[in-house]
């Protein structure tokens, strides 16, 4: 005799006996090892996110079983760290792919709303001096407030025929401008720039430039590679070093600037949705930009909580086009004077 479908448990039909959805167990019921392997983060970190984002994720609903903030956060973390909505996340969470997508959107927007809380330059003098001291300890480069560079994140082609997102490799991407400190903490992240823009153009148009030219500290500078113009607040390498002092300057510059490259690699290692190994981000440029920024916020929060992202293995690959740039020598005489003074004072 046929069994009426109405009496069957939907989870039993979809997943079989023994499957537990997140609505049916608490975080205390599983190990930290399970949480880290499935969602990328330990229990206490997840509890912190629930406290931080819970109010934004608890929205009125007519449904009797609205998805809890805890479940939404776990769903989003699962996507960020695996880059997939597919079987592994569905099995672990017990919600549909469509619900997973909504959870990712909700958590992403909640994190983006808090970006300025977690990604910013220090303002008090003691913290600024500590920032400089940390950088000086790396390779002897004085006055450094941060290291800056761009990285590309692959996205799907926009619906409109928009070639502005096609980078030098013929792929659609966002060109993301970031600054970090000596520990890899992000101090600035602009994730919305079209992939066709060269790094120097991104910086020229960025809010970061306006900040440093009108607001921020006049007694320090950022370090950027040769894809950028030398500025009074941005020290770049010498194109053709000739003297021992110039070689020492370039070596210290390179060793210090390498921090941002390590930071890019480790962010992609933790947040596999960005590394290209699972394909491109299947969202509009605006939504993709928000996902990148949300991962940047989580990166900083994880370092704040003592989760050393640099200890993670470097996996996946980067969708970073190799820049084919000419050496960007500055016509700014004041910037040249400052760099020359730096050479004479600290590297001669």
**C-alpha span between 294 and 115 (Å, rounded):** 8
Looking at residue 95, its pLDDT comes to: 73
Helix and strand totals (H; E) in the chain: 13, 5
Query: Could you please report the per-residue DSSP string of 275-303?
Result: SSTT-SB-S-HHHHHHHHHHHHHHHHHHH
**C-alpha span between 250 and 248 (Å, rounded):** 5
Looking at residue 142, its pLDDT comes to: 96
pTM (2 d.p.): 0.86
* Residues sharing a CB contact under 8 Å with residue 277, sequence separation 6 or more, in sequence order: 83, 315, 316, 317
Q: Which of 323, 278, 293, 329 lies closest to 149, judged by CA?
A: 323
Looking at residue 86, its pLDDT comes to: 55
Looking at residue 90, its pLDDT comes to: 52
Residues of the chain with confidence (pLDDT) below 70: 1-26, 59-65, 85-94, 160, 216-218, 278, 309-331
CA distances from 260 to 119, 150, 153, 256 (A): 15, 9, 15, 9
Which residues, in sequence order, are bridge partners of residue 175? 152, 193
Looking at residue 64, its pLDDT comes to: 44
CB 63 within 8 A of CB 95: no
Looking at residue 279, its pLDDT comes to: 74
pLDDT digits (tens, 9 = 90+) for 32-51: 888 888 888 999 999 999 99
* Residues sharing a CB contact under 8 Å with residue 188, sequence separation 6 or more, in sequence order: 119, 120, 121, 146, 148, 177, 178, 179, 208, 211
Looking at residue 192, its pLDDT comes to: 97
Looking at residue 193, its pLDDT comes to: 97
Tokens standing for residue 314: 């470097």
């Amino acid at each position: 005799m046929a069994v009426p479908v109405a009496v069957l448990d939907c989870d039993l039909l979809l997943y079989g006996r023994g499957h537990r959805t997140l609505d049916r167990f608490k975080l205390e019921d599983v190990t930290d090892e399970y949480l880290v392997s499935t969602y990328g983060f330990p229990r206490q970190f997840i509890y912190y996110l629930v406290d931080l984002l819970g109010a934004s994720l608890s929205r009125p609903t007519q449904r009797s079983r609205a998805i809890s903030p805890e479940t939404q956060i776990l769903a989003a973390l699962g996507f960020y760290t695996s880059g997939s909505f597919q079987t592994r996340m569905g099995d672990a969470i017990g919600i549909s792919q469509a619900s997973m997508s909504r959870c990712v959107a909700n958590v992403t927007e909640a994190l983006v709303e808090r970006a300025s809380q977690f990604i910013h330059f220090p303002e008090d003098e003691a913290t600024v001096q500590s920032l400089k001291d940390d950088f000086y300890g790396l390779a002897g480069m004085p006055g450094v407030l941060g290291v800056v560079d761009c990285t590309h994140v692959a996205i799907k082609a926009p619906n409109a025929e928009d070639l502005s997102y096609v980078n030098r490799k013929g792929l659609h991407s966002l060109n993301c401008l970031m600054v970090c400190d000596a520990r890899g903490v992000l101090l600035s992240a602009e994730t919305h720039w079209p992939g066709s823009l060269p790094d120097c153009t991104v910086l020229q148009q960025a809010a970061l430039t306006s900040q440093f030219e009108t607001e921020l500290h006049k007694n320090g500078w950022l370090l950027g590679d040769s894809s950028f113009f030398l500025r009074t607040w941005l020290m770049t390498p010498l194109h053709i070093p000739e003297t021992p002092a110039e070689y020492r300057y370039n070596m210290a510059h390179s060793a210090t600037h390498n921090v941002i490259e390590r930071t890019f690699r480790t962010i992609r290692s933790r947040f596999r949705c960005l590394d290209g190994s699972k394909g491109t981000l299947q969202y509009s440029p605006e939504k993709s930009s928000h996902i990148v920024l949300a991962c940047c916020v989580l990166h900083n929060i994880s370092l704040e909580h003592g989760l050393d992202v640099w200890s993670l293995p470097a996996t996946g690959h980067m969708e970073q086009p190799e820049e084919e740039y000419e050496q960007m020598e500055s016509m700014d005489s004041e910037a040249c004077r400052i760099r020359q003074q730096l050479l004479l004072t600290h590297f001669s």
